[in-house]
Chains A and B, each alone.
Chain A
Amino acid sequence: MKRFSPVFRNLTRKPGRTTALILLTAFLALSLFAGTMVVSSLRRGLGSMENRLGADIIVVPAEAESKSSLKNMLLQGTIGTFYMDASAVDKVRETEGVQKASAQVFLSSMKADCCSVKVQIIGFDPENDFVVKPWIAESLNRPLGDMEIVIGNRVATDVGEIFRIYDQRCLVAARLAATGTGLDTAVYCNMNTMHALLEAAEEKGISHKIDTGNDAEVVSAIYVRTLPGADVGLVNNRLNGKIRKATAVRTTGMLTEVSDSLGGVSRTVAVLIAAVWILALVILFIAFAMMVNERRRELAVYRLVGMSRSMLSGMILKETALCSLAGAVCGVLLGALAVFPFTTLIETSLKLPYLAPGTGTVAAYAALAIAVTVAAGCAASLHTASKLSRVDPGSTLREGA
């Protein structure tokens, strides 16, 4: 007969006790891992939104309920189609304190064009653009040609395919990296393509004309970068005073709002994690405390046959560590199963930018969650271990003899 480990025997021959411990610790690890994943994805989403916005001020038509409409478009991919006279672009450029200004035109595809869903089409001016171009350059190392489009990360079409918009055939030239924002569901084209699409839309009866009555060129938003050192607030006020029927919005305001809601969600998640942990740790502690009485006699026998106090504490800690490790690994796996496949669902429910961290970060968080859970499990049993190791074997074995 081979050697056997009392630790493994204790675990396998008390399956109820072991399963309960594993379940409890799995619960701890699940909440910790899933919670930190959600919060760190939100942080990364906000960072990515900051990077992608790239402008200090955005000028949009006043009737577009400016701020919320643009914010919804950026965050949730809600389609925004609002227009103003293109002459505003020059007025913006002439404004004191403005370094660069770049216009974009928004159009919505018809549902039928792209199989199942409307898509936000964003036309940009390659000559003046400083917002979209650097981003596109990450996936496409040449200028975007006419009737070519670049698709957001979540548009499920492949590069090289033809994407029909208002019966116009557009070639998908590249797919952008994920941003975790509403921009992931948009497609991008240059102004020539946009003009062709606007005309095609016009033929289908979808008007983008503004009520000036003439055929003036239109834009939907003007992205502004201020001169270094310029007071952005002041420039914003100047723009608001100068351009009629349009509103200038500071992007920091928008980002602050997002960051505030993110703070709210983070706090909620933190409170939830704390609640789960307090509950589970209390249960763990009680379970261990109950174990003291249940196992007194058994551990007195171990002392009787020559196990030292430190060996006894070590044995209990080893049992707990093994259970917690198994539980923590299960919990992290369950957490991953709950969070990663449902990224989109979480993002659309929270209405906040959400970008899952890279594999390395995820692995680090998983390892951390496992380590913290095992440590918590062992800490909860520490008191019990030390109490049991001080059991007086003589009197314990006399009790109820």
Chain B
Amino acid sequence: MKKNLFAILLMIFAAVIAVGSVTVLGPCVHEDGSKGPCADAGKALLIDGCVMAILAILITMVNRRGLRMALFAAALCAAVIGILLPGVLMPLCKMDTMHCRAVMQPSMIILSGAAAVSALTGIITERSRKA
């Protein structure tokens, strides 16, 4: 449990990103049911969250220090992508009051940031762990 603490934290954040991106923290849906330009960013976040979750699960399953560090590093990259996805790498709607800008973007940045910190701490603890 203690050994996998940061992998579990990462898994939780990744799961919230993935589930959130298709529910309350997702892109805008207009009254007429049509989707805004932020819909693609939402899809990308879903994929990114799933990738991070899978990486986290893999980390809990392997024991080799080098491999665990590599997986954490990959998760860190995915988390950084998660921070940049809404608004920087992919466009959002053009009004700050839209759901994608008011809710999706800030919460995804915070969650991805938290995931990045977990992954980074994971790398640091793996480094200091005796092989």
Do A and B interact?
yes
Q: Is A185 an interface residue (CB 8 A)?
A: yes
A155-B109 contact given A111-B30, A116-B28, A116-B38, CB 8 Å threshold: no
Question: Chain B residues in contact with chain A, CB under 8 A?
Answer: 28, 30, 36-38, 92-98, 101-103, 105-107, 109-110
Instruction: Name the one of A77, A114, A341, A342 contacting B97, with C-beta atoms under 8 angstroms.
Output: A77
In the complex, number of A-B residue pairs with CB atoms less than 8 Å apart: 61
- Taken together as a complex, chains A and B put the C-alpha atoms of A347 and B98 apart, in Å, by 12
Given A115-B37, A342-B103, A348-B102; A185-B97 close (CB under 8 Å): yes
- Determine which of B95, B103, B105, B109 lies in contact with A116 in the assembled complex, contact meaning CB atoms within 8 Å: B95
Q: Is the CB of B106 within 8 A of A117?
A: no
How does the 8 Å CB contact mask read for A306-349 relative to B, with 1 for contact and 0 for none? 00000000000000000000000000000001000110110110
Which residues from B are CB-within-8-Å of A117? 36, 93-95, 97-98
- Check A364 for interface membership: any CB of B closer than 8 A: no
Query: Could you tell me if A185 and B110 are in contact, using CB atoms closer than 8 angstroms?
Result: no
**Of all chain B residues, which has the CB nearest A163?**
B94
Task: Determine whether A157 belongs to the interface, using a CB cutoff of 8 Å to chain B.
Answer: yes
Q: Which residue of B lies closest to A342 (CB)?
A: B106
- Does B95 lie within 8 Å of A154, measured CB to CB? yes
Asked if residues B95 and A345 are in contact (CB atoms below 8 Å), the reply is no
| Residue contact A344 to B28, C-beta cutoff 8 Å | no
- Residue of chain B at shortest CB distance from A153: B96
On chain B, the residues within 8 Å of A111 by CB distance are 30
Residues of A with C-beta under 8 A to B95: 116-117, 119, 154-156, 185
Question: Interface size bucket, A side?
Answer: 20 to 34
Starting from the known contacts A116-B93, A341-B105, A344-B101, 8 additional A-B residue pairs (CB-CB under 8 Å) come to A116-B36, A116-B94, A156-B93, A156-B101, A341-B106, A341-B107, A341-B109, A344-B97
Question: A184 an interface residue at 8 Å Cβ cutoff?
Answer: yes
Find chain A residues with CB under 8 A from B109 CB. 341
- Cβ B110 vs Cβ A156 within 8 A: no
Tell me the smallest distance from the CB of B75 to a CB of chain A, in Å: 21
Q: Point out the residue from A77, A119, A184, A345 that lies within 8 Å of B102, measured CB to CB.
A: A345
Q: Which A residues are in CB contact (< 8 Å) with B92? A: 156
- Minimal beta-carbon separation of B40 from chain A (angstroms): 12
> In the bound complex, do residue A344 and residue B37 qualify as a contact, i.e. CB atoms below 8 Å apart?
no
Q: Specify which of B94, B106, B110 lies most central, judged by the most chain A CB atoms within 10 Å of its CB.
A: B94
B96 near A185: Cβ-Cβ < 8 Å: yes
Could you tell me if B30 and A156 are in contact, using CB atoms closer than 8 angstroms? no
Contacts of A114 in B (CB 8 A): 94
Q: Which residues of chain B come closer than 8 Å to A157, judged between CB atoms?
A: 94
User: Smallest CB–CB gap between A153 and chain B, Å?
Assistant: 8
